[in-house]
Amino acid sequence: MLQLAAAINEAHRRHNSLFPAGFKPIPMTEVNRTPQHRSGMAEIKAMFRYAAEPKKKRGHLLRFLQISLATLARPDAAHDVSTDPKRGQWNSNAGVLNLNPKGRRQTKKRRATVPMAWQVARLLDQVKGPFVPVHSVRSAWRAMAVELKLPMDGESGMKLVRRSMAKLLRDRLPKDAMIEIEMFLGHRVFDATSDIYAPFDPHYLALAKAQIEAIIDEIEVDVPGAFGRHLAELRVVA
C-alpha cells in the first residue's frame, strides 16, 4: 500500500499538478495487531517434546526451535544460520554468532551478534553448513501448532519462540539488565566500533546468556535430549 500511495502521488504530480495527490494509506501501526500470546515454560517444553519425539521426522523443526530459543532470532534469521566460514557467522573460539551473514546489508529489522549458550554452541560445532538445512519449517510448525492446540488467528506464528523468550527473560532478569534483551532482539545497537568488538568481551550480554542456558537446562530436565541429541541422530529423523 505504501508503494501504491507513492505511485498515485507521483502520477498525479506528473500529469495534473506540481503537487502530489495527497493519498495516504492507513499507517501500519493502526492496522497491525501484535500477537498477545506468549508461551510459558510448560508450552515451550511441549514444543521440544513434540519436535524431539523419537522416530518422528521432526529434526529440522527441532533445530529451528533450538536456534530460535538460543538467539531470540526472527524466523528468517534462524533459518539463515550457517557455520560455513564464507558466511562469517559462527565464531567457535569466541562462542559468538552473527545472525547477519557476511555481505548481507542490515535492515530496520536488525540482526544481532549474540553470545551462544554452551548447549547450542556444542551443536553448532557439529554442523557443516546450514543449522536448519531446509528453506522453511513452516509446515512442520503448523502441524505442531495444531497438535499442541496453540492459539490460532495469528497468535502462534513462528515468532512465538522469540516473543516468548523475551518475556521469560524480562521475568528473570533485573531491571538494569533489560538492555541485554533489547540487544539480543536487535532493538538496540552500539556505535559502529563497539558493534565490532563488544561481542567478543566475555561479559557481553552475559546475564541474558546465563538465563538462556538455565532455561535450556530446565527443558532438558523434562525433555531429555532436546538439546543433547547428536546431529547424526537428527539427520536420521530429519
Q: Give the mean pLDDT of 94-118.
A: 95
Residue located via cell numbers 533445530: 63
Say yes or no to pLDDT of 197 above 90: no
User: What's the average model confidence in pLDDT over 207-219?
Assistant: 98
For residue 76, give the amino acid letter: D
Mean pLDDT, rounded, for 133-139 = 96
Q: Kindly indicate whether the domain formed by 35-237 is annotated with CATH number 1.10.443.10.
A: yes
pLDDT at residue number 12: 61
Higher per-residue confidence, 56 vs 196: 56
pLDDT at 8 (0 to 100): 64
**Taking all residues of the chain, what is their mean pLDDT, rounded to a whole number?**
87
96 strand-pairing partners: 91, 115
Q: Which residue has the higher pLDDT, 152 or 113?
A: 113
Given CA atoms 131, 133, 134, 138 in this order, what sign does their dihedral have? Answer: negative
Q: Which region among 80-89, 101-110, 226-235 has the lowest average model confidence (pLDDT)?
A: 226-235
Write the pLDDT tens digit of every residue in 161-193. 999 999 999 999 999 999 999 999 999 887 666
pLDDT-wise least confident of 81-95, 120-134, 143-157: 143-157
pLDDT of residue 232: 46
For the chain, the domains span 1-32, 35-237
Strands across the sheet with 90-91, in order?
90-91, 96-98, 113-115
According to the model, what pLDDT value does residue 234 have?
47
Please tell me the predicted confidence (pLDDT) of residue 50: 98
Q: Give 12 or 182, the one with higher predicted confidence.
A: 182
pTM of the model: 0.82
pLDDT for 35 equals 83
Q: Could you read off the pLDDT of 25-52 as tens digits, one per residue? A: 555 444 456 788 999 999 999 999 999 9
Q: Is the pLDDT of residue 98 over 70?
A: yes
